[in-house]
Amino acid sequence: MATLLLQSEFPKLAYGIDDVRAVGKRLAQPITDFESMTSADRQQVYDVFAVANSWRNSHVYPMRSVHQSVSHRMRTLGSSGFTAARPKRMASIRRKLATTTLHLDQIQDIAGCRAVLDNIDGAHKLVANIREEFPHHVRREFPYIEKPKEDGYRSHHFALDFTPNGKTDGRRVELQIRTRLQHSWATAVEAVGLFLGQDLKHHRADADWLRLFQLMSAEFARVENCPVPPNMPDRHDCIVELRDLNKKIGAASLLEDIKTLTHYAENYIFAKGRYYVIRYHSDHTVQVESFDNPMQASSLLGGIEGQIEYGKDDSKVVLVEVDKVDKLVEAYPSYFGDVSLFVRNLNQLCLGKDAIEYSMAPQKLVAPRQQEKPDMSAIRRRYTKW
């Protein structure tokens, strides 16, 4: 049973909103030659990240509230699936500030909650339920299932104002609702990007891989009886092109390699908690640390990201919240190299068959094996006979 935490046990904003807006401008600028900076300039950088991390950390409680509300609605609806939540990575925050005119306090997905439903009917029901009645104000919707993005991305997004006691407090949370097929597509994009060191999510990557994901999205949409992404060929031509691309770039083979080569650090095997800091290293190893306390988890995240931003670490790191540890890999398979559902459907489609929405096999937890003490009595009995 999950431990109930009071709001006072979550991180709070330690600065004013004017400070948050001011550091947003600096966050959008690159950090160059950190090691050669004067001590005063370095301190300014530390101060900027202190404010930015405090603002982000103050979204952890709103994130938890939305997460619990969504989980409750799924249980009420009898919808099968799982939920997860995470604060936005600092690198992603900085990219958004650098490429848009948004202020730091205007970013709608500083905190994110995700609901992954077993099928498209479950996704539609949850979307309708959120529209009808939800404790937090819906600012805007992005219906990427009914209107897929050109790159193939499909998911329904709600931009929410966190409204405790019926009043907006300035925090925003993004809720994503998707099916397992849509989730397998999105996480395969991330997994391939992580493995190849390319930014497929923002289209800065190999054109053949980008095209393969477009075609796969179209076939997933057809199976779910949903609109396909714009300018996609008919099913016959789509399958032919998929086969050719798969052969050309060895997509299925590389996806299998990702499954094989990405491996966990030992502490994942038995650690339990509610908040997890997942760290993906450049050698494709994954390190996971678990926490019951959100403040400790947020503090570790900020410390690691500081090393990344200062050029002292090349790993990728994210803080996530899941109800059960056995849902961790299922919710964030891209970090663990788990692209099983996607590659299975790629092979299925290349054979001319329809994609199938498989349920992922549950992740098993194995407690550390206790060292067995040798039974010396057997030896003593043996040697006393001589």
Three-state helix/strand/coil letters over 57-73? HCCHHHHHHHHHHHHHH
Residue-wise pLDDT for 312-363, tens only, equals: 898 889 898 887 777 777 788 777 778 889 999 999 999 999 898 754 444 4
Residue pointed to by tokens 């004013």 = 16
Q: Is the pLDDT of residue 165 over 60?
A: yes
Winning range, highest mean pLDDT, from 112-121, 265-274, 330-339: 112-121
Q: Which residues contact 332 (CB under 8 A, 6 or more apart)?
A: 84, 86, 187, 278, 318, 320
Note the pLDDT of residue 207.
94
Nearest C-alpha neighbor of 67 from the set 5, 140, 14:
5
How many helices (H) does the chain have, and how many strands (E)? Answer: 14, 9
Least confident range of 95-109, 244-258, 335-349: 335-349
Note the pLDDT of residue 113.
96
Q: Which residues are bridge partners to 100 per DSSP?
A: none
Distance CA 84, CA 53 (A): 21
- Average pLDDT score, the chain: 86
Q: Is the pLDDT of residue 127 over 90?
A: yes
Distance CA 28, CA 148 (A): 29
